[in-house]
């Protein structure tokens, strides 16, 4: 890894839009989702495209519904075997920034 040159960030974003991804097992009734439930909707939609990747199934709460509604993309990965996951679920619209929102990874 040390033999590779530093990553050069592009000066322009593809499509002039920043892709931000949130990965969490806590989009349901959990303290983390209570804190971040408004975050996807607060991004400027003309400059940011939001992707949420859920690692746990929808628990039917308003927290999960609000996050799913306000993100442009909400992907349920709860049925995917994490040991055999490939990037095909995320790669088509690979976020520029991927944040893990959780308490136990």
For residues 73 and 9, the model is more confident at: 73
Helices (H), ranges, the chain: 31-36, 39-42, 62-70
The answer to whether 20 touches 48, Cβ cutoff 8 Å, is yes
The tokens 């136990």 sit on which residue?
104
Looking at the domain assignment, is residue 81 inside a domain?
Answer: yes
Looking at the domain assignment, is residue 13 inside a domain?
Answer: no
Q: Which domain holds residue 87?
A: 25-43+50-100
CA–CA gap between residue 59 and residue 3 (Å, rounded): 46
Looking at the domain assignment, is residue 70 inside a domain?
Answer: yes
* Confidence at 21, pLDDT banded by 50, 70, 90: confident
Q: For the chain, what is the domain count?
A: 1
Question: Given this model, what pLDDT does residue 71 score?
Answer: 92
Question: Given this model, what pLDDT does residue 105 score?
Answer: 47
* Confidence at 36, pLDDT banded by 50, 70, 90: confident
The tokens 């746990």 sit on which residue?
56
Edge-to-edge strand list for the sheet holding 97-100 = 73-76, 48-54, 18-24, 97-100
Looking at the domain assignment, is residue 8 inside a domain?
Answer: no
Looking at the domain assignment, is residue 20 inside a domain?
Answer: no
- Report pTM: 0.71
Instruction: Dump pLDDT digits (tens) for 54-103.
Output: 888 889 998 889 999 999 999 888 887 766 655 555 555 666 776 676 65
Looking at the domain assignment, is residue 16 inside a domain?
Answer: no
Looking at the domain assignment, is residue 58 inside a domain?
Answer: yes
Looking at the domain assignment, is residue 9 inside a domain?
Answer: no
């Amino acid at each position: 890894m040390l033999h590779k040159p530093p990553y050069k960030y592009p000066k322009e974003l593809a499509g002039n839009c920043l892709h931000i991804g949130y990965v969490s097992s806590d989009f349901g009734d959990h303290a983390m989702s209570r804190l971040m439930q408004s975050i996807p909707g607060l991004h400027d939609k003309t400059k940011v495209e939001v992707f949420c990747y859920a690692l746990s199934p929808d628990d039917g709460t308003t927290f999960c519904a609000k996050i799913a509604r306000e993100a442009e993309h909400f992907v349920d990965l709860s049925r995917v075997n994490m040991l055999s996951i490939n990037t095909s679920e995320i790669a088509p619209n690979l976020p520029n920034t991927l944040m893990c929102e959780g308490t136990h990874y």
